[in-house]
Copies of this chain bind each other. A is one copy, B any other.
Amino acid sequence: FERILHSAGQSYHDLIRLRTNALKDFVDAVVYPGKVAQLQKLIKWASTKKIALVPFGGGSSVVGGLEALRGRGQRAVLSVDLTRMDHCLDLDEYSRTATFEAGIYGPRLEAWLNERGFTLGHFPQSFEYSTLGGWVAARSAGQQSNHYGKIEELLVALEMISPKGELKTLRVPAGATGPDINQIVAGSEGLLGIITKSTVHVHHLPEERRYAAALFPDLQHCVDFQRELTGSSLDMAMIRVSDPEESRLFEMLANAGKSGLAHAFKQRLARQVLKFKNINSGKCLVMLGMDVEEHTARRQDVAVRALVRRYGGFFVGRAAGEKWKQGRFNMPFLRNHLMEVSIGIDTLETATSYSNVIRLHDAVIAALRSAVPSALVMCHLSHSYHDGACLYFTIIFNMSSSDPVAQWRKLKEAANQALMKNGGNMSHHHGIGVDHKSGYQKQNTTANLSLLRAMKRELDPVGILNPGKLFD
């Protein structure tokens, strides 16, 4: 059980392989170091014996980051489960930073901070089953990253053990001190070393986490609105734009099980009101969140509503927003139930500049539809920046009964090609692992890859750390 659990992550590919007995590679054993000294010993021993080590945090990789691969000439592969190294080390309230051992799970970290009046504010969908070290290693993004930043922006300092010794950075807010080692370790997916500690920004618990929804006539209006709001002085935590397909699904789910005259009347009235605003069948739902002080929430509310109107939208109100907030971690669980009835769900995400969002959106949707013609393909813009946004695609399809793995490969290949041809990167916050490796290597120049591989050769000369992923 331990070996199987530690030989796969939570991707659709992992789940179908587990269900169909198609997983071929397993770790030979699982090690649970409890202290840095034990981890150092383990890494030294593995280097000498040529044994591959796959670092394991919450096990929530969706890109094949946990595949039990061994490099050339290696005799075995071990999973290094870091969840015993999960201590809360210190909180500097005045500097708004906290330090944790990297194996700590999201809920434990957040509870410890909450008790002290703080929050990390980092809520990826995997929050309940992922660790701080895993977030940093894969450059995770929380749903409220517009306010708090992606994990690499929340990162102040860290410690990492490599076969060559300990990498360590200072607890300073910024520097002009050479290449940024924090930003080398962030995203290194276990190939350069094993992260043991991280110091991160923390925020006072917001007085208010206010969520609301708005509707817009089409996706272009939403992108215009998202771009404007992200570039404004308003302090938003989330501006989540659903494309027409996803908006339709949310509407269906919201109406499911409701009937009767009153409901029908309300529906009709709503349609009529929206029609006046030219919000019809192509309508898009936007979820708006802010994590701020109560008086700021009230002030911003007025400004956001004005902006919604200016961009042709209709402010729906807070009920829909609150409902989204409650269900926000549920999606991955739903996936397991649907697989029971032979419905597959896979997701993928990318980022691009604002001027390229619509083009990339349409290209990826078209590619996925042509790979699996009967599929329902939808997208939301989950995170936004000064210069662009993250596009998060969900594809729902009838699972192939003959060869679901081949079906998945076809989907994945179609998506990767579409990303590469249309100016998207291979991942915004899931990482590269095995699944995005080929596209990632194509998107880098020869010199980029030489540089990355030289770093690994230096820190891990025997190549024991998570072989076969990312640039390896």
Contacts and interface: CB of A to CB of B under 8 A. Distances in A.
Contacts of A457: 454
B428 A176 contact: yes
A471 B192 CA distance: 20
Q: How many copies does the complex hold?
A: 2
A446 interface: yes
Given A233-B296, A353-B95, A386-B96, A176 B187 contact: yes
Given A167-B451, A183-B180, A351 B427 contact: no
B140 A176 contact: yes
Given A172-B352, A184-B183, A178 B440 contact: yes
B179 A184 contact: yes
A238 interface: no
A144 B229 CA distance: 21
Given A179-B452, A180-B186, A171 B351 contact: no
A47 interface: no
Contact of A170 (B204, B383, B425): B425
B432 A176 contact: yes
Contacts of A432: 176-178
A172 B458 contact: no
Contacts of A183: 179-180, 183-184
Interface string A429-460: 11110001000100101111011111101110
Nearest to A180: B183
Contact of A440 (B177, B181, B452): B177
A162 B445 CA distance: 12
Given A92-B355, A170-B443, A351-B175, A448 B187 contact: no
Given A181-B448, A455-B455, 17 more contacts: A96-B231, A96-B354, A96-B386, A139-B177, A167-B447, A169-B448, A173-B390, A175-B427, A176-B187, A176-B431, A177-B426, A177-B440, A178-B188, A179-B455, A201-B387, A451-B459, A454-B458
B97 A353 contact: yes
A133 interface: no
Contacts of A458: 450-451, 453-454
A189 B300 CA distance: 42
Nearest to A224: B94
Contacts of A470: 178
B165 A450 contact: yes
Nearest to A458: B454
A388 interface: yes
A356 B96 CA distance: 12
B94 A355 contact: yes
A224 to B, nearest CB: 9
Contacts of A300: 233
A235 interface: yes
A138 interface: yes
A312 interface: no
Contacts of A140: 176
A383 B169 CA distance: 21
A152 interface: yes
B452 A454 contact: no
